[in-house]
Amino acid sequence: MSTLPEQDMPAAGLSGTTLGDHVHGQLLRLGAVVGLREADTALYGQILLDSLSDTARRPLSLPPASPSFLSDDHTPVEFSLACTANADPVLRVLVEPGCAHADMADSARAGLGVIRAMAGRWDFSTDQLDALEDLFFPTDAEGPLALWYALELRPGGVPGIKVYLNPSAAGPGQAARTVREALRRLGYGQGFGELPDGAGYPFVALDLGSWKKPRVKVYVSHPRMSADDACALSRTASGLSDADVKDFFHAAAGSVPPAGPDAWNVLRLLRRPALTCHAFSDRGVGPSGFTLHIPVRDYVRDDEEASARAKALLAQFGMDTSVLDRALCALTQRQLADGAGLIAYLALAYERNRQPRITAYLSSEAYAVRPPLTGPGVTRPEPSPQRHQALRPSR
Ligand code: TRP
């Protein structure tokens, strides 16, 4: 891959390089890619470093401080690029601020401290989060996360803030009850009944700070999803057609063209499950947003394939594709064909009265690059008339 001029390249693995150096460098280069002003990017970079506290100074020659579930190689940071037609792409960064702590109660304390400091700095209320403390931060909290935050890195130095919480903090058996109660406390008493069935609720997320329409979001996981299933899971009126959702599913998952009229419908994602996300922002009218997340990294041979799929999707939805190439160059110097995982998820999002959005979740790979899936005959799965055909990585 070509490198960006005038910028330091990542030095993961070089002796002395710290986690902070690695993710900070990525953030500065990505900020330039999306056209943020240097002063804004510098501020966001400092916020990122501060929120990682001592972990930022931990050399990458040491293993990750905790087995963060945020990314496959346990880097507690992930970037994403949210693209809309006729608008500049938006850079976001997802962080586990309590990553120094393997214990979830300690991690929660660290995470809450970081959010409260942000609330002081940018003068926003944490009332919604405070109202949920007993649900999401029990004293004997279980993993795989306590609190993550994401910043939408906006021009002007005031980010949009999102907080991600674990509905299984009091045990997986409590997740449904926790989601229902959280929605009720936040004013969406009917919300739980409006969610589709799924195998679990990996996250609840809150928009904090300055948003036109702050949302409460519930993520649902769907093992063995097919394209037809994906269409049936949206609870948000209109916006995306079934054809949009199916096209996205197949383009992201890499399904082959149909051999017959129904052949598409039997392909299912048998590896890492797809997720849907249901956003609530208007009381009494059902979910206002729907997102389909496909974990593309588990359904490709390597990142060259993942990036080709992402760019085909961006082009299909009328969005700029070059920004993705530049973002990948900003993340790593490695060849795309040398790993599978730089693009963790591809997502199609629709919010009421907004243009559809395509988001690529981009891994930091501070600690490891997952090798490509190799082997003889790298081929796509053939559709067959059998029900429930596997959609496996193309190997
Ligand atoms: N790493 C986790 C996963 O793959 C959580 C996660 C990180 C995630 N970034 C995400 C989930 C983006 C959905 C979308 O599930």
Which ligand 1 atom minimizes the distance to the CA of 275? 13
pLDDT in tens, 163-213: 999 999 999 999 999 999 999 999 999 999 999 999 999 999 999 999 999
The CA distance from 299 to 172, in Å, is 27
The CA distance from 323 to 35, in Å, is 10
H or E element, residue 255 = none
> Rg of the chain over CA atoms, in angstroms?
20
Number of domains in the chain: 1
Distance 106 CA to ligand 1 centre (A): 22
Average pLDDT over residues 385-391: 50
Distance 15 CA to ligand 1 centre (A): 29
* Probe residue for ligand 1, chosen from 70, 80, 99 as the CB with the greatest number of ligand atoms within 8 Å: 70
Distance 202 CA to ligand 1 centre (A): 9
Distance 6 CA to ligand 1 centre (A): 32
CA geometry: angle 132, 214, 121, nearest 5 deg: 75
Which ligand 1 atom minimizes the distance to the CA of 203? 11
Q: Give the binding-site residues of ligand 1, using a 6 Å CB cut-off.
A: 69-71, 78, 94, 275, 293, 295, 344-345, 361
Residue located via tokens 């383009």: 251
Which ligand 1 atom minimizes the distance to the CA of 347? 14
pLDDT at 376: 43
Distance 384 CA to ligand 1 centre (A): 30
Ordered DSSP codes for 336-362: GGG-S-SEEEEEEEEETTS--EEEEEE
Q: Does 394 reside within a domain?
A: no
Q: Does 190 reside within a domain?
A: yes
Average pLDDT over residues 379-391: 47
CB 92 within 8 A of CB 151: yes
User: Which pLDDT band, with edges at 50, 70 and 90, does 7 fall under?
Assistant: very low
Helix (H/G/I), strand (E/B), else coil: 269: strand
**Which tokens belong to 218?**
């519930």
The CA distance from 78 to 385, in Å, is 39
* Probe residue for ligand 1, chosen from 221, 297, 345 as the CB with the greatest number of ligand atoms within 8 Å: 345
Distance 94 CA to ligand 1 centre (A): 10
Nearest CA among 236, 242, 232, 355 for reference residue 287: 236
By the 10 Å C-beta count (0-12 exposed, 13-18 middle, 19+ buried), 140 is classed as exposed
Distance 274 CA to ligand 1 centre (A): 10
Residue nearest to atom 5 of ligand 1 (CA): 70
User: What are the backbone angles phi and psi of residue 168, rounded to the nearest 5°?
Assistant: -95, 15
Which ligand 1 atom minimizes the distance to the CA of 295? 4
Expressed in percent and rounded to 5, the helix, strand and coil fractions of the chain are 35, 20, 45
CA geometry: angle 310, 339, 326, nearest 5 deg: 45
- Go through 233-266 and write b for each residue having 16 or more CB atoms within 10 A of its CB, e for each that does not: bbbbeebbeeebbbbbbbbbbbbbeeeeeebbbb
* Probe residue for ligand 1, chosen from 66, 73, 78 as the CB with the greatest number of ligand atoms within 8 Å: 78
Ordered DSSP codes for 187-244: T-TTGGGGSPP-SB---EEEEESS-SS--EEEEEEETTB-HHHHHHT--S-SSS-HHH
CB 158 within 8 A of CB 238: no
Average pLDDT over residues 75-95: 97
Distance 204 CA to ligand 1 centre (A): 13
Distance 71 CA to ligand 1 centre (A): 7
Which ligand 1 atom minimizes the distance to the CA of 78? 9
The CA distance from 114 to 150, in Å, is 12
The CA distance from 244 to 3, in Å, is 34
Distance 70 CA to ligand 1 centre (A): 6
For β-strands 389-391 and 267-269, DSSP reports them as parallel
User: Which pLDDT band, with edges at 50, 70 and 90, does 16 fall under?
Assistant: confident
- Per the structure, the complete domain to which residue 145 belongs is given by 6-363
The CA distance from 140 to 109, in Å, is 12
Range from 88-97, 247-256, 381-390 carrying the lowest mean pLDDT:
381-390
- Does the pLDDT of residue 380 top 50, yes or no? no
Measure Cα distances from 80 to 43, 285, 305 in Å: 18, 29, 18
Q: Does 49 reside within a domain?
A: yes
Which ligand 1 atom minimizes the distance to the CA of 219? 13
Q: Does 231 reside within a domain?
A: yes
pLDDT in tens, 270-326: 999 999 999 999 998 899 999 999 999 999 999 999 999 999 999 999 999 999 999
pLDDT in tens, 27-45: 999 999 999 999 999 999 9
pLDDT at 88: 94
CA count, 13 A, side-chain hemisphere, 136: 33
Q: Does 371 reside within a domain?
A: no
With a CB cutoff of 8 Å and minimum separation 6, the contacts of 187 are 283
Q: Does 386 reside within a domain?
A: no
